[in-house]
Amino acid sequence: MDDSEKFDKKIRGFVNQVRLYEDPKSQESARKTVPVEELQEKALVSLAKEGKYKPSKQEQDHAFLLQLLFWFKQSFRWVNAPSCEHCGGTTTFQDMGLPLPSELQFGGYRVELFGCNSCQKVTRFPRFNDPTKLTETRRGRCGEWANCFTFYCRIFGYESRLILDLTDHVWTECFSHLLGRWMHLDPCEAVYDQPLLYEKGWNKKLNYVIAISIDGVRGVTKHYTRKWNEVLSRRNIITEEILSHMLAEITGECRSTLTSQLMSELEDRDEKENQAQDIGTDSMDDSSVSLPGRQSGDKEWRKSRFEIGSDEEGSLSCSACPVRKCVDEHVTRIYNAFHSILSQLPDEEFSKSVAIEVLLFIQGIVTNLKKSAFRTRRALVDSDSDEMKPFLQRLFPSLKGFLGASSLDSNLDNDGRVEIWLANEPIYTSLALPVVLDALEEVIQDIDRCDNFGRAFLCLPRLKLNRIHSGSVLASGEELPFGMATSAFDGIRSSKWEEPNGARGCWIMYKVLDNKMEELAAYELMSANDAPERDPMDWVVEGSEDGGSSWHLLDEQTNQMFDSRFQRRSFFVTKTGHLSNAFRFRFLAVRDGKSTSRLQIGSIDLYSPSCSPMT
């Protein structure tokens, strides 16, 4: 068999593979393994954070696809060497084995044998090709990952292609009707719409990249390179003429049963794609993005393949961070409404234990709501403590306002039962509930740490009003997609702003809504979820009267330390009397700049002078 025949056989094998995705029974079975409603809610929340409360179907479909990608990355497991199935110890590759009938049933033609480093027993690792089987095992390397993820994409109706890179990688493309083009998605890396990831980030020397779908096959190498002449010199398996004829022949066979109308639509799309590739059309200006090396797989394995890149921490960073709108008015509403509840707690009738019990009761209500179906959220909660009922009744007007800040309505009956239901579009509540839960958890912890409950307010930095909100943010850099600049202002612990090069100095600027002039009286910073070495240590805060053209100093801090994760610290502006329509934080140093290049911050809250810290 010559090279062209081997090439043809390989491509046709992948065509047969993608045909497996179309089986209705397999799709129905696999769909049950996906938390569909959870991903739908996350998709709508991600759009709401961009100010899109009533997104189009195309926007929803696009956002759901990205959430499917992120979920898949968390639910699938990369396997370099499987753990020993006998003792759980580490293993080392020994040899290839003969497949068993039970393995062949699911396309496990290749079987790797690993010897245990402890008990010496052998563990089999069949490389299954059956996508339905992979939704059960949820493990493998890029072949299994891309195979299974592309199957999931087809389950949810996305036009999808399995992308074969002959230099040994596989990923997915889906047609985005929102973008009007095919979009790159790599499930192993949870990276999307970054086609230069491999050439620029991994330093791959690409040769042939082939897109395979039920509608045909086509060469898409040009979409993944900015060095076509170099790539062309490496395409020496078969001639370009033979390759073109081969792909056209296979595509013709794939489309032989299609209607003339569908054929015409596909040919029109093919022509547009050809034109886009010929002129180098891409989703980004590659000069503005620093792309990471490979993150999936063992570090030594990645090094052996020369795919680790220059950034071993692995980030999809963006040095050209755009202006982003802060959708955080709900955060301010929640903080203000929470103040009404908390201001009643330092009362002689409320002991520390009762105050915590009341807040835990409210936390339980919100937790149950968070777990319920987001489109039909409703709860009926009964107090377990007869002693607490009078306190709950006294606090209920404030509680009703607190829940109302999350677009919820509520009622308290004579038996101490609280009924809660949606008062507005479900997405408003989905956006707000994580903020509420984080606020409750912080305050409960703070009260519990206070020895003298009468002085509890000294422990509660969140008891401030007039939080500035709904401005726009610009930063020196950000981490995509999980460390965007606006994450510093969304009121949620689980998110953060991360600046990939921030340890050497960085900045983030907040422009006030409608250029309103504000005086900054205080601000709060919260440490992020991990990596204490990335905490800010030295910084200055500046204000501008002209939207950022000139600046004046408001506050300066040095040698500041965060003692724990999610620690919130308050700072009062020393330079008072300045009105500004923009504020800038210039972070000058991190806690340990020798061990990291990054800065990260969990949250930033800005307060105007009418805030009332309890001192």
Bond prior to 82 in cis (omega within 30° of 0): no
For tokens 């960085």, name the residue: 506
C-alpha 136: how far from its chain's center? 24
- Give the position of tokens 């020369």: 306
Residues 145, 150, 151: CA angle, nearest 5 degrees: 100
Strand 552-557 with 536-544, pairing: antiparallel
Residues in Cβ contact with 615 at an 8 Å cutoff, skipping those fewer than 6 apart: 458
**Beta carbons within 10 angstroms of residue 227's beta carbon:** 12
107: left (phi over 0), alpha (psi -120 to 50) or beta: left
Closest CA to 305 of 410, 193, 405, 165: 165
In angstroms, the CA 499 to CA 601 distance is 9
Cα gap 517→512, rounded to integer Å: 8
Could you please report the per-residue DSSP string of 302-317? HHHTT-S-S-TT---E
225: number of Cβ within 10 Å: 23
Catalytic residue among 8, 61, 130, 142: 142
Decide if 169 is catalytic: yes
Q: Is 506 a catalytic residue?
A: no
Catalytic residue, chosen from 186, 311, 535, 605, is: 186
CB-based contact 78:104 (threshold 8 Å): no
Nearest one of 603, 595, 477, 604 to 533, comparing CA atoms: 595
**Nearest residue to 199 via CA among 283, 307, 55, 298:** 307
Catalytic member of 62, 169, 330, 469: 169
Catalytic, 142? Answer yes
Residue keyed to tokens 């996906």: 34
Residues taking part in catalysis: 142, 169, 186
